[in-house]
Structure formats: C-alpha cells, structure tokens
Amino acid sequence: MQYSAIGKRVAALKQHLSTLLLCILTIGMVSVVMAEAEVHELEDATLRTVMPSAAHFERDKNGLFVIAYNRNKEIIGRIGLTTDVTDIVGYSGLPIVTLVGIDSVGVIQGAKIIEHSEPILLLGIPEQKIFDFLIPYTGKHINDQISIGQSSEPAAVEFDSISGATVTALMINEAIQQTAIEIGIESGLVTYSDQNIGKFITEERPWSWQTMVDKGAIGTLQVPGLDPKIDEPLLKLWYTIIDAPQMGRTLLGDTAYEWNINRLKENEHLVIFLGIGSMSFKGTGFARSGIFERIRIVQGYETTIFRDVDYTNLARIMLEGAPEFREAGLFIAREGKIDPGKAFEVSFIVSQQQKQKSFNREFSSVNSTLKLPESVYRVTEVKAGKNGTHEYWKMQWQQRQTDVIASIIFYLLVGLIFVFRRQILGTNSRENTVQTIVLLASCALFGFYFMAQLSVVQLVVWLRLFFGTIDISVLLMEPVLFVTWIAAAILILAFGKGAYCGWLCPYGALTELIFKVGRMLRLPVIDPSDQVEKSLDTVKYTLLIAIILTTFLFPKWGAYFADIEPFKYTFLVTPWSQSLLIFIWWSILIIASIIMFRPFCRYICPLGGGLALLGALSRFNIKRHPLCAKCKICARDCDVHAIDSKGHINKIECTLCMRCINNYQDQTRCPELLCAAKKHPSKLRHTDERV
C-alpha cells in the first residue's frame, strides 16, 4: 500500500508522538526532583530587605530560619522562607517563594518574593502589582487576622486582592501567615501544645432535635440575601461534631452511625452540615476538583479544608421539630486539626462577581463559632494552648455560573454546526457567513470579554497535573478556561485540530478577521509557495518542545520564552505597555495578518503544535472523489495549503474551513459531479451524501 506525502507526515507524527511524550515524562520527573532539591541561598542584602535594622545574620541551629542580630549582637528577629514552612503552590504548580521577616515582638518587618512562576502574572498582570501587594504586610502583627477581601470578623485586617489574580493573592497570604506563625512559635511568641485531653459523653437514649438545640450542641450560620429588603437568607446552615452517640444515632440512624464511627482513626471526628436555602454549602467545584471550597473549619492556627475523600452524601434527614433540610453532608475531620474540647469556627466563603470585569470577584466570609457543651464533650485535662486567635484560610475561585453556561452553550452550538455541517454549511458563501459570525463571537466573547485564550503555558500546567505536582483544583480556578480546554479537547478529537484553531481560537479569529478586512480593502496578498510552507511546518513543533523543556527545567525562563505567543498582550494587557521588543513583535504579526492568512497560526504557534498532536488522534476524514487527484479547485480555495498536488488533505494543518466539503457535494462546481451529470444524469450522486 502506497502512502501519500501527507499520509507519511501524519504517520511520522503519530510515530514520534510516543517519543515526544517519553521525553516530556523524563524531563518532568527530573524537574520534580530538582524542585524538591532546590535550596535558596540568600545574601545579606536580600535578607536586609525584610529586616532593615539587622547588622548581620546567622542560621539557627535547626537550619530552618535565619536569626537577625543588631550591632550589639542582640537578637532582633527571625527570617524565614515560605517554602521551608509550607507546601502551598501557585497556579503554575510551583511555590511562590517568599521571604518573611518577623521582629522579636512579632511584628512583620517585611516580605519579599524571591521567585515565582505564576502564569497568571506572566500572562498579563505586571509583576510590580504582586510586589506592591506585599507592602501592607509590613507593620502587621502575627496575631492580626489578615483577610483577602471582606470579612465578617470585626478584628480582621482586610487586604485588597490583586486584580485578575485573586487566587494568587490568597495563596501568598496563606503562605506568609503560616510562615509568620512558625517563626512566632520558634521565637516563643506563640505557645504550641497538643490537644486538651477529654472524652465524648455517652448517653444511650438518643436526643431529639430540640434537645440538641436547647443544649447548644449545634451551631448555626446564615448567609444573608443580596437584597437587604428580603429577609430570606441565601443559606441557613446547621453544623456540629456528632461523635457522641446520642447525637450521631439521631442524625444518621443506628446502622450508619456505627459504620461511620468505626472507620474513624485516632484524632478524627465526624462533622455534619445541614442546609436549607437557594445556595449550596457544597460549592460548585467539589465534583470536579474534589475540594469543598465554600466551607472550612478554623480553630486557632489550624484550618480544616474538606475534600471528596472526607465526604459522605446524606439522604434527606427528617426529624421531628427540625427544619426541612434541602441537603446534608457528613465529613471526616482528619489529622487531629480539630480539638472538640475547644471552640471552633466554621467559615463560609461567599463571592460576588464584580460588574466592571467578569473575571474579577469580590470574596467575603461569613463566620460562626461553636463550642460543644460539657454534656457532649468533657475536658479532663487542660493543656496550654496556642496564644491568640488567627484566622487563615485560602479561598477557592467561585464558579461563574452565568459565564460557564454561556460558554457551554456556545461550544455546543459550534459542535452542532460541525455535526450538521451538510445542512448548515451547504455552500461556500453560507459557510463564510456562519464562520465569520463564529469568529466574531470567539474573538469578542472569549478573547476580550472572558479573556479565556488558551495558551501553551496552560498546556504545561496540564502536564504538571499529569506528573502530580499540582492538584486539579489549580486548573479549576479559572472556570471558563477549564471549560474551553475540555470543549477544545472533545471537538479536536472528534473533528481534528481545525475545530479549535480554525473556529474557536480568539487570536486566530482576530487575525482571520483582519485578513478579511484586507480583502475588503483590496490589499495585496502574500501567499508562500508549497515548498516554503513545507519548510516552515516544523517551526511550531520545535517551539512547543523547546518551551515545554525550558519551562520544566527553568520555569521562569520558560514562561518568558512563551511570550512568543502574542495572546496576553492582545487580550489581557495593551501591547504598548510591554517592552519595546514585544510591541514590535506584536505589531509585525498584526500587520502581516492583513496581507497573509493567519501567519502566526500557520508557522509559529506552539499551542497549535500541541493541539495538532491531539488532532492526529482524530478519526475524522474528509472524503475525496477520484478526480480530486487532478482537480485543483479545493487546493486553490485552501488558505493554509493543507491540500497537496494530488488532492490529499493534511488534517494536521487543516483549519476545517469546510470549503472542500462544500465543493465535494456542489453539483455546479465539483468536476466529478459535473461529469457524472453529463454521462449518467439518472445516477447523479445525491448532494446529501455525508462527508
């Protein structure tokens, strides 16, 4: 069997795909080891930025913190790196390495980011904004309750988020506060001890709902409605620890209580949440990310964030005298973070979308405190606890339901266009009209409004998920982007790379629309020859591999290397606000797009190279007539030169413009059908043949 040149290229691409994946896997494993083994050696000048009054520095005996001395050789504070204390990572899957200095009385003297690889920042947010975000930490005490966004706690210190990078701000805040507390413990400013010793009181007779309420064994929390004129809250939540049988048996039933209590390990407890109202306490991300982002328990310096492995869904609980609960959930609090002998706080995260920009949200928390009465849990030995109360928690990006629904509807409509292409795109003129509408919607909606342009940097984040260096919740922080990735993957596997690159990519849509404007103005067209086209085919794949390898081995440089993509300074920031080199590069691509069809997409785009690898797995093929080997009509219509001299279509480069599909069934244009009509009019192929 003889393969065409196009067929050989497709086969070669598939053959080398496994080699590429093996190479990426090896580099990924090496990068993980390098990340774990990385040690930051800090110079005195760097240390002095977070402890300006220090004369010299020494490592403490444990090697964890740096001790700062004044000129009289007196200890004036300690300095620590967040990465030495916590494993919190940013959107990139890598930590935001931050230096924190605390003086001898617990006041933060400074905080400085040493290293980060945040694509959220490198894709449009100026670095200076994240540096400026750290300024207000100076002068705050380690016992201050620092909240990103609004907090219902009167004593909380509220910090403004980083516009467009709220999640990054939350993670930096969490890491700084954890580091500050650990320094406080090391300095003796915070006293750490184990839990109090106590026991749950056992009563054989189950309590009624009213008994539990009367004894103060159940806490309540209310999320007020958006309209202050309406008294009905969005959510009313009841919660408690139900290890005690008189409560657990009532709420779960005997069988379920016995099963759940027997699977607890040491220092684990059963926590129940019961809710009514239009808002769910479960949040919207737990089904995908496994994290219940709305609820958490804060007790002193410990924060409990629940995951799906901690959760059991409960059927509707019907108790005499109790409200009619809409939902109920049972969670296991693990790792001994909750001491049932002390008061604990349930923090419920609420977000409201800002009207100015759809991708920004304002976060606030509604808090409620419960201490189990002695009729439920009795402390037999009190130990010295941590001094002070410190709320730290990190918020998860709330689901933008309207945006996500709009995105799903849009992608479904485009999918239907592909499925029913014969009926919807029957002629080239109709196809041009429909595609122009889709391109305009893609550019305006997902480019400038949602700012949900896919990028090779995000592709690297997916690879980090594969290597296990990040949790999927990192990707779910940008819901429209996540939906776009899933939709793109499905459409590419079904119809090839062109389903996204040719129709849905905001930047590709913009450059094609610019090209159409150039045709309206009757400007000249530069169309490289097939030989030049073939020689440039490998550029995007070379760039793809180079960016992936560089990003894994040298994350920051890899992210800057990805600036070859013009996406961020097209949709996220103005190109003239960037460096002169970037502005020149962006201008060249835009000007070239007026006289050349999609120059960046065809020859340079590393994301397109990655999607082409996925598109190579698609089983979708465009049918050809025998005369297609001689006819040049479709080849002349193909703007990306995806049809060779023998009529074979290279689906790896095809942008799915549908013109050859329309020509295939056009009785007035296709030579095969015209010949058939002349020779055998009665046997003319029907125009409804599937292609």
Backbone angles phi, psi at 605, to 5 degrees: -55, 110
Instruction: For residue 484, give the nearest of 470, 468, 511, 503 by alpha carbon.
Output: 503
**pLDDT-derived band of residue 682, with 50, 70 and 90 as boundaries?**
low
Same domain, 505 and 557: yes
Same domain, 70 and 205: no
Tell me the angle at which helices 456-467 and 479-495 cross, rounded to the nearest 10 degrees: 90
In a domain, 138, yes or no: yes
Instruction: For residue 612, give the nearest of 635, 642, 636 by alpha carbon.
Output: 642
Which structure tokens are listed for 476? Answer: 């779910």
69 and 58 in contact (C-beta within 8 Å)? yes
Sign of the Cα torsion 321, 325, 329, 332 reads negative
110 and 82 in contact (C-beta within 8 Å)? no
pLDDT for 412 = 93
Count of residues for the chain? 691
Same domain, 268 and 322: yes
Q: Which residue has the higher pLDDT, 629 or 124?
A: 629
Q: Span 563-572, mean pLDDT?
A: 78
H-only helix segments in 598-670: 599-603, 606-615, 633-637, 659-664
DSSP string over 626-644 = GGGGT--HHHHH-TT--B-
Same domain, 552 and 573: yes
In a domain, 394, yes or no: no
In a domain, 365, yes or no: yes
Strands, sheet with 97-103, edge to edge from the N-terminal-most edge strand: 56-59, 66-69, 75-81, 97-103, 108-115
**pLDDT-derived band of residue 192, with 50, 70 and 90 as boundaries?**
low
CA distance to 43, 59, 185, 245, 543, per residue, from 274 (Å):
53, 50, 36, 18, 52
662 and 22 in contact (C-beta within 8 Å)? no
Query: Is 80 exceeded by the pLDDT of residue 283?
Result: no
Same domain, 228 and 168: no
Query: Is 90 exceeded by the pLDDT of residue 421?
Result: no
Task: Give me the residue label for tokens 């019907």.
Answer: 318
Task: Give me the residue label for tokens 């039933």.
Answer: 253
187 and 102 in contact (C-beta within 8 Å)? yes
Same domain, 178 and 270: no
Sign of the Cα torsion 416, 417, 419, 420 reads positive
Same domain, 321 and 436: no
Kind plus residue range of the DSSP H or E element containing 270? strand 269-276
Same domain, 248 and 357: yes
d(CA 271, CA 242): 6
Q: What is the CA radius of gyration of the chain?
A: 30
Decide the pairing of beta strands 197-200 and 377-381.
antiparallel
Could you list the residue range(s) of the whole structural domain that residue 304 is in?
A: 197-385
Backbone angles phi, psi at 22, to 5 degrees: -65, -40
In a domain, 638, yes or no: yes
Domain final residue, candidates 140, 168, 187: 187
Instruction: For residue 220, give the nearest of 206, 196, 239 by alpha carbon.
Output: 239
Same domain, 351 and 482: no
Quote the mean pLDDT of the chain. 75
Q: Which of 113-122, 147-156, 194-203, 542-551 has the lowest mean pLDDT?
A: 147-156
Backbone angles phi, psi at 259, to 5 degrees: -65, -45
pLDDT in tens, 204-259: 889 999 999 999 999 999 888 766 566 678 889 999 999 999 999 999 988 889 99
Domain final residue, candidates 162, 187, 212: 187
369 and 124 in contact (C-beta within 8 Å)? no
CA distance to 201, 289, 365, per residue, from 88 (Å):
38, 16, 21
pLDDT for 678 = 66
Q: Which of 25-39, 472-486, 504-518 has the lowest mean pLDDT?
A: 25-39
d(CA 149, CA 138): 18
CA distance to 210, 244, 353, per residue, from 374 (Å):
17, 11, 43
- The torsion region of residue 128 among left (phi > 0), alpha (psi -120 to 50) and beta comes to alpha
pLDDT for 157 = 67
481 and 489 in contact (C-beta within 8 Å)? no
In a domain, 28, yes or no: no
Which structure tokens are listed for 596? Answer: 């050349």
pLDDT in tens, 88-123: 666 555 677 888 888 888 888 888 888 776 655 444
Domain final residue, candidates 385, 414, 432: 385
DSSP state of 135: G
Same domain, 342 and 314: yes
| Number of structural domains in the chain | 3
Same domain, 248 and 173: no
In a domain, 29, yes or no: no
In a domain, 31, yes or no: no
In a domain, 689, yes or no: no
Same domain, 479 and 551: yes
